[in-house]
């Protein structure tokens, strides 16, 4: 039983899971909307929203913290300079998950995750 367990394992090792979340966060920052499976989208939501909250200060330390998580210069710049200032007056809830379909190959529930 997973009562009060903190995160979804997604069938991956911890390093694979962190790489997956990092790459999906880069993708959502670049395109602002991606389609993925529902559990991945729900796990990504917390990851991206914490990054946006940290980036909202907009100072040099925000750049350092976001770059440490993403390891991508263009996405870090876009997140700190363009995306985070849009949510300066908002207390969380920066992403939206919309359930879309059931994937034909393995019947996995799919969902769009987008920046609000």
Q: Which helix (H) or strand (E) holds 97?
A: strand 95-102
Assess whether pLDDT exceeds 90 at residue 2: no
Write out the E strands in the chain: 33-37, 95-102, 109-115
Query: Which phi-psi region, left, alpha or beta, contains residue 71 (left: φ > 0; alpha: ψ -120 to 50)?
Result: left
Q: Give the pLDDT confidence of 48-104 residue by residue, as tens digits.
A: 999 999 999 999 999 999 999 999 999 999 999 999 999 999 999 999 999 999 999
Domains of the chain: 14-115 (3.90.1030.10)
Assess whether pLDDT exceeds 90 at residue 35: yes
Q: What is the pLDDT of residue 4?
A: 85
The set of residues, in sequence order, having a beta carbon less than 8 Å from that of 94 and lying 6+ positions away, is 48, 49, 52, 87, 115, 116
Would the pTM of this model clear 0.85, i.e. be above it?
Answer: yes
The residue-averaged pLDDT of 20-45 equals 97
């Amino acid at each position: 039983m997973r009562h009060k367990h903190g995160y979804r394992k997604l069938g991956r090792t911890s390093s694979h899971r962190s790489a997956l979340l990092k790459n999906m966060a880069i993708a959502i920052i670049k395109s602002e909307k991606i389609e993925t499976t529902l559990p991945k989208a729900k796990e990504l939501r917390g990851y991206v929203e914490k990054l946006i909250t940290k980036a909202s200060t907009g100072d040099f330390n925000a750049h350092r913290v976001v770059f440490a998580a993403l390891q991508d210069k263009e996405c870090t710049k876009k997140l700190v300079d363009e995306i985070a200032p849009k949510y300066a007056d908002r207390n969380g809830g920066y992403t939206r998950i919309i359930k879309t379909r059931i994937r034909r190959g393995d019947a996995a529930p799919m969902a769009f995750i987008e920046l609000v």
